[in-house]
Chains A and B, each alone.
Chain A
Amino acid sequence: MSETAFAMTGGQVTFDGKPILRGVDLTVRPGEVVALLGANGSGKSTLVRALLGLTPLSGGQTLLYGTPPARFRDWWRIGYVPQRLQVGGGVPATVGEVVASGRIARQSRLRRTSQADRAAVAEALEAVRLSDRAGDPVQSLSGGQQQRVLIARALAGQPDTYVMDEPTAGVDAGTQQLLADTLAGLVRGGKTVVLVVHELGPLEPIITRGVVIREGRVAHDGRPPRPEGECARPGHEHVHPHAAETTAGPLTGWQGDPR
């Protein structure tokens, strides 16, 4: 049996009696670049959190590299990019400090910061073009720059698998392109990527698989959707519900496409 980065079978999540995930089967193999798509409230963010064990399942099971999250030990293999940077209760933290915290899963408690740690942090900062801001407080950065800090933090840990929750939401076109280029480099290096996105944008060429979530279930799993017509126009405002009904799709060419 080949290794899986994530393997969820019949995954269910319930919040206060309200079902959010209603039995999701999802297997991600190393090297895949999976886009999780879906309307707001479809459960895609909950799905990534459940894949990581951050949100407990009320039914089914999920495995991280073959191990349930509670017993998983190799957390350095996972690089999580949350939706937003948490800045804490007003205590400043520099860009360098936050990015360096991405090394935590690789550091042992009593060992001091090593040369390898420093090199990885410097490289991660360089990748997102924030080297010159390393000494600045993250609180002083714009939203797009904070998003780059989050990505750099994951990069610094040099994981095998990246899990990103809407890394392109609310960031400028330049940052989106930067992210696409960074991800393309990771993919070439054989890394696994699972990302929640609203629209593929510049990420489109590197996505190998699109999974559409609708009402807590996998509605489509296969080739990534290609935007057509109005949706393909640059700067298009994405207002229609994603993957709504099969009849409603400007996203054609993938629906019902067997994998």
Chain B
Amino acid sequence: MIELLQEELFQLALVAALLVGLCAPAVGTFIVQRRLALLGDGIGHVALTGVALGFLTGTTPVLTAVLVSIAGAVAIELVRARGRTSGDVALALLFYGGIAGGVMLMAIAPGGSNAKLNSYLFGAIASVTREDIVVIAALALAVIGVVVVFGRELFVLCQDEEMARASGLPVRFLSLLVAVTAALTVVIAMRVVGLLLVSALMVIPVATSQQLTRGFRATMALAMLFGVLASVGGLLASTLSAKVPPGAAIVLLALAGFVLALGVGKFVRRSRTQESTMSERPRVQVKEVA
């Protein structure tokens, strides 16, 4: 293990896993609160076209993926905001187009192959380069920055959009911000867990965390911890045997955590009800919003 830690390749992978583990659940908390748990999946599908476009044009696939998934996220948000039932179908069409477009472009791209496609669909954390890490770190910084600066407003928006409007918040801008931040997160996570499993890291840690917490801030903080544990843990697990794919190991670990939290959560809630009926808590506790 010590030797492994000294290998640059592994160090890069570790940094990537850490950043993804932090970012995905942070954005995921807002997305789950907003009942858009599948947004990440949608963007993931669209991002595939972006990756293929990168191969076709000879640009870094991560960069083209950023551009295309932001465009896709904005499109999804616009359809959502119009709120018509046909929106469902429009989104589905967009997702199919994303996958099919990606496969097609990849096939005609010089040097494009199914193996390369697979590394984006299912992740290839071992092939992360220094250049990738720079991009991933910059995107991660942007994502965390959005959460820190806009967290309070996003909480109101995701809790109750009408309330946000009646508070004078820039609802359209904030909605687009959520979508774009999700798109950035998808791109960060695609090298680690793959586009098909990206959404898992945005949703599972949040679902796990909310079994145990009472508040929004606490849910987000714990989800980020679970996210890091799963992504780093999965990466370490994959070093045990060459047969273990890291992306799948990360997601399965996260799911195992969720199942565990379900059980623990039941226990915690039961002891809490006893506590609150047995003892009064006169202490005024005011938590600020994320």
- The interface of chain A, by Cβ under 8 A from chain B, is 52-54, 72-76, 78, 80, 82, 85-94, 96-98, 100-101, 104-105, 107, 109-110, 112-113, 117-118, 121-122, 125-126, 131-132, 134-137, 157
Mask: chain B, 260-290; 1 = CB below 8 Å from A; 0 = not: 0000000000000000100011111111110
- Cα distance, A91 to B164, chains bound together (Å): 17
Q: Which of B33, B37, B166, B169 contacts A80 (CB 8 A)?
A: B166
- The interface of chain B, by Cβ under 8 A from chain A, is 29, 32-37, 149-150, 152-153, 155-156, 158-160, 162-169, 206, 210, 213-217, 219, 276, 280-289
B159 A135 Cβ-Cβ under 8 A: no
Residues in B neighbouring A107, C-beta threshold 8 A: 152
A96 B286 Cβ-Cβ under 8 A: yes
Which has the most chain B C-beta neighbours within 10 Å: A104, A122, A132?
A104
Q: Which of A54, A89, A113 contacts B288 (CB 8 A)?
A: A113
- Cα distance, A104 to B154, chains bound together (Å): 11
Closest A residue, CB atoms, query B220: A91
Known: A132-B282, A134-B284. A82 touches B162 (CB 8 A): yes
B155 A101 Cβ-Cβ under 8 A: yes
B35 A100 Cβ-Cβ under 8 A: no
- Cα distance, A126 to B149, chains bound together (Å): 29
- 9 shortest A-B CB distances, which residue pairs? A75-B168, A94-B215, A86-B160, A89-B35, A113-B288, A80-B166, A88-B33, A91-B33, A93-B216
- Cα distance, A131 to B285, chains bound together (Å): 8
- Cα distance, A197 to B86, chains bound together (Å): 36
Q: A78-B166, A100-B286, A121-B286 given. 13 additional CB < 8 A pairs?
A: A52-B166, A82-B163, A92-B213, A94-B214, A96-B286, A97-B155, A97-B289, A101-B152, A105-B167, A105-B169, A132-B280, A132-B284, A135-B215
- Cα distance, A178 to B286, chains bound together (Å): 22
Q: Which of A91, A94, A122, A131 contacts B210 (CB 8 A)?
A: A91
A97 B287 Cβ-Cβ under 8 A: yes
**Minimum C-beta distance from B143 to chain A (A):** 17
Residues in B neighbouring A82, C-beta threshold 8 A: 160, 162-163, 166
Closest A residue, CB atoms, query B282: A132
Closest B residue, CB atoms, query A117: B288
- Cα distance, A126 to B165, chains bound together (Å): 26
**Minimum C-beta distance from A125 to chain B (A):** 7
A97 B216 Cβ-Cβ under 8 A: yes
Residues in A neighbouring B215, C-beta threshold 8 A: 92-94, 96-97, 135, 137
Q: Which of B206, B214, B285 contacts A137 (CB 8 A)?
A: B214
- Cα distance, A54 to B285, chains bound together (Å): 33
A89 B34 Cβ-Cβ under 8 A: yes
A54 B166 Cβ-Cβ under 8 A: yes
Known: A92-B213, A100-B287. A109 touches B150 (CB 8 A): yes
Closest A residue, CB atoms, query B281: A132
B158 A88 Cβ-Cβ under 8 A: yes
- Cα distance, A94 to B158, chains bound together (Å): 15
Can you give 14 contacting A-B residue pairs, CB < 8 Å? A54-B166, A82-B163, A85-B160, A89-B34, A92-B216, A93-B216, A97-B216, A97-B287, A98-B159, A100-B287, A105-B169, A109-B150, A112-B288, A126-B284
Q: Which of A72, A74, A80, A126 contacts B163 (CB 8 A)?
A: A80
Residues in A neighbouring B158, C-beta threshold 8 A: 88
Residues in A neighbouring B280, C-beta threshold 8 A: 132
Residues in B neighbouring A136, C-beta threshold 8 A: 214, 276
B285 A134 Cβ-Cβ under 8 A: yes
Residues in B neighbouring A94, C-beta threshold 8 A: 214-216, 287
Residues in A neighbouring B160, C-beta threshold 8 A: 82, 85-86, 88
B281 A135 Cβ-Cβ under 8 A: yes
Q: Which of B168, B213, B217 contacts A73 (CB 8 A)?
A: B168
Known: A80-B166, A96-B287, A134-B286. A91 touches B29 (CB 8 A): yes
**Minimum C-beta distance from A123 to chain B (A):** 10
**Minimum C-beta distance from A223 to chain B (A):** 29
Residues in A neighbouring B284, C-beta threshold 8 A: 122, 125-126, 131-132, 134
B156 A104 Cβ-Cβ under 8 A: yes
B32 A101 Cβ-Cβ under 8 A: no
A96 B285 Cβ-Cβ under 8 A: yes
**Minimum C-beta distance from A192 to chain B (A):** 15
- Cα distance, A80 to B169, chains bound together (Å): 13
A118 B214 Cβ-Cβ under 8 A: no
B156 A54 Cβ-Cβ under 8 A: no
Q: Which of B32, B166, B287, B288 contacts A90 (CB 8 A)?
A: B32
Closest B residue, CB atoms, query A111: B152
**Minimum C-beta distance from A81 to chain B (A):** 10
Known: A97-B216, A105-B167. A86 touches B159 (CB 8 A): yes
- Cα distance, A74 to B166, chains bound together (Å): 11
Which has the most chain B C-beta neighbours within 10 Å: A85, A92, A93, A104?
A93
Q: Which of A52, A91, A131, A135 contacts B216 (CB 8 A)?
A: A91
Residues in B neighbouring A109, C-beta threshold 8 A: 149-150, 152-153
